[in-house]
Chain A
Amino acid sequence: MENVSKKVQTNQYKGGWITPKTAPYIFILPALLLFLAFTVYPIIASFLLSFQTRSGGTYTFSGFDNYVRLFTDPIFYKALGNTFIILIVQVPIMLFLALLLAVFLNSKLLNMRGFYRVSFFTPAVTSLVAASIIFILLLNADYGLINYILTSIGLEKINWLTNGFWAKVSLIIVTTWRWTGYNMVILLAGLQNIPNDLYEAASIDGASPIHKFFHITIPQLKPVLLFCFVLSTIGTFQLFDEPYNLTSGGPNNATLTITYYLYNQGFNFFDFGYASAIAYVIVVFIAILSWLQFKVVKDD
């Protein structure tokens, strides 16, 4: 009896495409096609492009020419250096601030938590072009509010956007302003997942709030912090809007980031081969850094 019914079932599907075995593939097919066309294909094509140089309107294979050029290009090193400086200075400052804010907002003593949460998150969804215009006005050396405040308390004017050092500082301030709230929300979600019994047990053992922070909060948040670190590292390597709008990469390339340099080569100078080579070098850097970060956290 059992045998018969099985036979009937298989007969039903005979000759048709849709069988229990193929059905899942058919269901994922639309997503897969889009993924292949818009993700896999560009990845392969730009990899091939990075080995090509153009002459007379056509691209020809030229081996490692673009990569050789890249490693002898002083502006590339400058852009890479700028990106690393921002990475090393800005990411720790931002994540530290984000963690402080998250702990603060997680406190049961605080009223109007929703309001603060929205306020701190707003920069992440603000149009960066509009925000940059405001920052350019604030940071203007002669008429800006910030220099007005500095001079009225007896300090020297600062050339925020025309001095190489201060332009980097401005860029770090704006980036931090924009992304702190975003990381704060992720950390806040992490904080809310820490079981309360841990804190209760610690209280019974007589741990101070600072002890609790370093011995319960931070270790428990480690995976979330790692996630934020990896995300921010990738974000820093892709930093573009901020320097583009704020300083145009100047003065004298002091705020030129690696992605901005890629944009210039590709979309200003139309050298897509070279731009692709830069893109692949960025990929390698991000991969190495992410691997290192995972490694460091695991070894602890």
Chain B
Amino acid sequence: MKKMVERSFVAFILLVLLAACGGNSSSDGDVEELTIPENPEDVEGDITVWAWALEANYLEKDVLPAFQEVYPNVDVTVEHIGVDQVYQKVSAGLSSGGSGLPDVVQVENNRIKSFTSEFPDAFTNLSALGYDEHEDKFANAKIEGLKDGDGNVIAAPRDLGPVGVIYRVDILEEAGVDPAEIETWDDYIEAGKTVVEQTGNYFLGTDGDGLLRIMMQQQGSYYFDEEGNLDITSEAGENAASILQEMKDNNLITFTNNWDGQVAAMKNGEVATNPGAVWWSGTMLEQMPELSGNWDMFELPAFEEGGTRASNDGGSALAIPSESDNKVAAYVFTEFATTDVDSQILALTNRGLFPALTAAYEEPIFSEDQEYFNNQPFFQKFADTVENIPPVNHDGAELEVRSVMGSEIEAFLLEDKPAAEMLSDGEEQAAQQTGKETTE
């Protein structure tokens, strides 16, 4: 009897192990041919969408009513899930062969590759379903980052984060600085010295490696080169580091610790400028209504006269997991949510999400003067920079490297590590962490 009990335990353990290994063996034949019906009413079924925060509200409240008028037979459930949880659940779902995943999921540009490098067949090829026809409606820098190695679009572009310098009109005026004359980073530093002398505060604040990334992308470079090798100590990196060092030596830049700290610094006038993405406008409108009329933007200063004055920070996209069992409905929803101009405008006005769909820039909201932003066509100014944003390579190891560089920025600002050393130490550290080669 004892033997029998023992044997059944062994059998049970083997069973558990087998069951655990079995998950990977599916997804062999992905040769299904899908066609999107001509008549919207022929698309039917239930789909589930995972998204977070503003984008989830956008999809549920702005897109869904309009979508259902066109596609009355598709039933969409938008689940609001926190950003970390979306990624954890997607990662867990993909690891287990695609079970439990939704039909549409929000993914940030810089995260896409971390999924596709892990799970090459994670997301449905949208080009095959007909998304190529929309390709040239989007900002080049955005759509390029959403393609796989073969040039197929694997996620549909939603919002974009064009970068400019958001500044306090009143503070600069009082210091006698004319923002129109700030054309290069050197001009910016000179202006900063004048302002800081006047206010006794700082000219800008940062809570991480965001500014470094913005400055590198501005020069068409990034933490990675085209092949995905680490390229942090590139010429572009060194240019950015020397500007950061100069900012620090002149006490222009303060470390704001985290998001809340950065918001507080802007609200309290501790900083006069914020080189940041257009999505700051949403937070500013919501959290600093008393500063209405005191904010405006000028284009990112160039590294040399006549150089590029545009960059990007953030933005997300919608992807369809390969295991979705209603790809047709998922596709039409994704297509609608990303290419319907009226919806993009609602995203901007209701949620502050800046569309990647360039056709939307023709809409009146862009040319309208914004009272909060010094009665200027604030969004138009950002839209004007979009075509100049250089596309860069967001690699699968982006998060590891950002985490390393975030720590290095802290060492630079808080522990007085020289900026050049910050780059070389960071690159060495990142190579160690990711096992990647560095660019020769």
CB distance from A296 to the nearest CB of B (A): 36
- Assess the A21–B432 pair: CB atoms within 8 A: no
- Assess the A75–B433 pair: CB atoms within 8 A: yes
Interface residues of A, count at CB 8 A: 36
B17 interface hit (Cβ, 8 Å): yes
Q: Residue-by-residue, is A1-41 near B (CB-CB < 8 Å gives 1, otherwise 0)?
A: 00000000000000000010110010000000100110011
B257: nearest chain-A partner, CB-CB: A162
- Assess the B257–A253 pair: CB atoms within 8 A: no
- Assess the A162–B16 pair: CB atoms within 8 A: no
- Assess the B91–A270 pair: CB atoms within 8 A: yes
- Assess the B118–A36 pair: CB atoms within 8 A: no
A248 interface hit (Cβ, 8 Å): yes
A-B contact count (CB 8 A): 73
- Interface stretch of the complex, out of B50-58, B212-220, B273-281, B407-415: B407-415
Complex Cα gap A40–B121 (Å): 32
- Assess the B432–A73 pair: CB atoms within 8 A: yes
Complex Cα gap A269–B120 (Å): 16
Residues of A72-118 at the interface with B, using a CB-CB cut-off of 8 Å, are 72-75
- Assess the B433–A36 pair: CB atoms within 8 A: no
Q: Which of these, A19, A161, A270, contacts B118 with CB under 8 Å?
A: A270
Residues of A119-146 at the interface with B, using a CB-CB cut-off of 8 Å, are 142-143
- Assess the B5–A22 pair: CB atoms within 8 A: yes
Q: Residue-by-residue, is A190-202 near B (CB-CB < 8 Å gives 1, otherwise 0)?
A: 0000000000000
Main secondary structure on chain B at its contact with chain A? Answer: helix
Complex Cα gap A159–B435 (Å): 35
Q: Which of these, B12, B95, B397, B399, contacts A36 with CB under 8 Å?
A: B12
Complex Cα gap A250–B407 (Å): 7
A60 interface hit (Cβ, 8 Å): no
- Assess the A268–B13 pair: CB atoms within 8 A: no
Contacts of A267 on B, CB cut-off 8 Å? 88, 91
Q: Residue-by-residue, is B16-49 near A (CB-CB < 8 Å gives 1, otherwise 0)?
A: 1100100010000000000000000000000000
Complex Cα gap A75–B411 (Å): 14
Residues of B213-260 at the interface with A, using a CB-CB cut-off of 8 Å, are 255, 257-258
- Assess the B16–A251 pair: CB atoms within 8 A: no
CB distance from A270 to the nearest CB of B (A): 5
CB distance from B288 to the nearest CB of A (A): 16
- Assess the A252–B414 pair: CB atoms within 8 A: yes
Knowing A164-B414, A252-B415, the reply to whether A54 touches B118 (Cβ < 8 A) is: yes
Knowing A161-B257, A162-B255, A268-B399, the reply to whether A25 touches B5 (Cβ < 8 A) is: yes
A45 interface hit (Cβ, 8 Å): yes
B403 interface hit (Cβ, 8 Å): yes
- Assess the A252–B411 pair: CB atoms within 8 A: yes
Knowing A45-B20, A270-B118, the reply to whether A163 touches B5 (Cβ < 8 A) is: no
Q: Residue-by-residue, is A237-271 near B (CB-CB < 8 Å gives 1, otherwise 0)?
A: 00000000000101111000000000010011110
Contacts of A21 on B, CB cut-off 8 Å? 1
Complex Cα gap A22–B8 (Å): 13
B376 interface hit (Cβ, 8 Å): no
Interface residues of B, count at CB 8 A: 37
B77 interface hit (Cβ, 8 Å): no
Residues of B391-440 at the interface with A, using a CB-CB cut-off of 8 Å, are 397, 399-400, 403, 406-408, 410-411, 414-415, 429, 432-433, 435
CB distance from A90 to the nearest CB of B (A): 23
CB distance from A100 to the nearest CB of B (A): 35
B367 interface hit (Cβ, 8 Å): no
Complex Cα gap A56–B12 (Å): 31
Complex Cα gap A41–B432 (Å): 31
- Assess the A33–B410 pair: CB atoms within 8 A: no
Contacts of B407 on A, CB cut-off 8 Å? 250, 252-253
Complex Cα gap A205–B13 (Å): 63
A208 interface hit (Cβ, 8 Å): no
Q: Which of these, B17, B24, B117, B429, contacts A41 with CB under 8 Å?
A: B17
Contacts of A54 on B, CB cut-off 8 Å? 118
A271: nearest chain-B partner, CB-CB: B400
A58 interface hit (Cβ, 8 Å): yes
Residues of A260-289 at the interface with B, using a CB-CB cut-off of 8 Å, are 264, 267-270, 272
Complex Cα gap A7–B120 (Å): 67
CB distance from B83 to the nearest CB of A (A): 12
Contacts of A58 on B, CB cut-off 8 Å? 24
Contacts of A33 on B, CB cut-off 8 Å? 12
Q: Which of these, B9, B91, B117, B414, contacts A162 with CB under 8 Å?
A: B414
Contacts of A74 on B, CB cut-off 8 Å? 429, 432
A to B CB contacts below 8 Å, 14 in the list:
A22-B5, A33-B12, A41-B20, A56-B117, A57-B121, A69-B435, A72-B432, A74-B432, A163-B414, A164-B414, A164-B415, A267-B91, A269-B397, A272-B95
Q: Contacts A57-B121, A73-B432 known; list 9 others, CB within 8 Å.
A: A45-B20, A74-B429, A75-B429, A142-B264, A162-B257, A163-B414, A252-B408, A253-B407, A268-B399
